[in-house]
């Protein structure tokens, strides 16, 4: 992968993370599931792992870094191998994979159960998480596709 595609993956990851973070911020203030706050779960997990109280802003910055830099890079590396001919299909596939990992690994680790079923909200947290991750991955995919098209 050349430097232009690496740069494009970071820009695309940044855009996807910005949209996702905006949705999470709106959800945290006026969302339909006030007891489902994945960023708060991440904040508590960080505090537990470090043994110290972590400022909520640090958790947001780490989530932003993770989505923009780490997952942006992973997405850029995987893009040509993802199923589908266009950015829509590739983004949806990537988002569904992220949803499965978040629902089956992260939430059990923070004691919420698979897809946060321990919150007692039925499938609503899983659906909300899916929408959020599809928004992130579709945005990232379209931006990455557009940047690579312009960069050629």
pLDDT digits (tens, 9 = 90+) for 64-106: 899 999 999 999 999 999 999 999 999 999 999 999 999 999 9
Specify the pTM: 0.89
At residue 151 the predicted structure's pLDDT band, cuts being 50, 70 and 90, is confident
**pLDDT for the residue numbered 16:** 97
Please spell the DSSP secondary structure of 7-76, one letter per residue: HHHHHHHHHHHHHHHHHHHHHHHH-S-TT--HHHHHHHHHHHHHTSPPPHHHHHHHHHHIIIIIHHHHHH
What's the pLDDT at 38? Answer: 85
Percent of the chain with pLDDT over 90: 68
CA distance 43 to 58: 8
Give the per-residue pLDDT at 1. Answer: 57
Task: Count structural domains, the chain.
Answer: 1
Q: Which domain holds residue 31?
A: 3-151
* pLDDT value of position 13: 97
Cβ atoms of residues 20 and 63 within 8 Å: no
Q: Regarding predicted confidence, which is higher, 151 or 5?
A: 5
The Cα 136–Cα 94 span in angstroms is 10
Q: Which of 40, 144, 25, 35 is nearest to 90 (CA)?
A: 144
107 burial class (0-12, 13-18, 19+ CB within 10 angstroms)? buried
| pLDDT at position 41 over 90 | no
* Residue 50 pLDDT greater than 60, yes or no: yes
């Amino acid at each position: 992968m050349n430097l232009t595609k690496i740069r494009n993956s970071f820009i695309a990851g940044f855009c996807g993370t910005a949209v996702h973070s905006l949705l999470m911020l709106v959800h945290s203030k006026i969302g339909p599931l006030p007891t489902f706050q994945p960023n708060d779960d991440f904040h508590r997990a960080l505090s537990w792992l470090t043994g110290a109280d972590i400022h909520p802003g640090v958790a947001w910055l780490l989530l932003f870094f993770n989505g923009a830099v780490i997952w942006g890079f992973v997405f850029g590396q995987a893009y040509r191998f993802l199923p589908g001919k266009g950015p829509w299909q590739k983004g949806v596939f990537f988002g569904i994979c992220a949803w499965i990992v978040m629902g089956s690994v992260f939430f059990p680790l923070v004691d919420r159960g698979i897809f946060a079923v321990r919150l007692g909200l039925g499938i609503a947290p899983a659906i909300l998480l899916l929408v959020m991750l599809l928004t992130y991955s579709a945005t990232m995919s379209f931006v990455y596709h557009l940047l690579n098209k312009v960069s050629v």
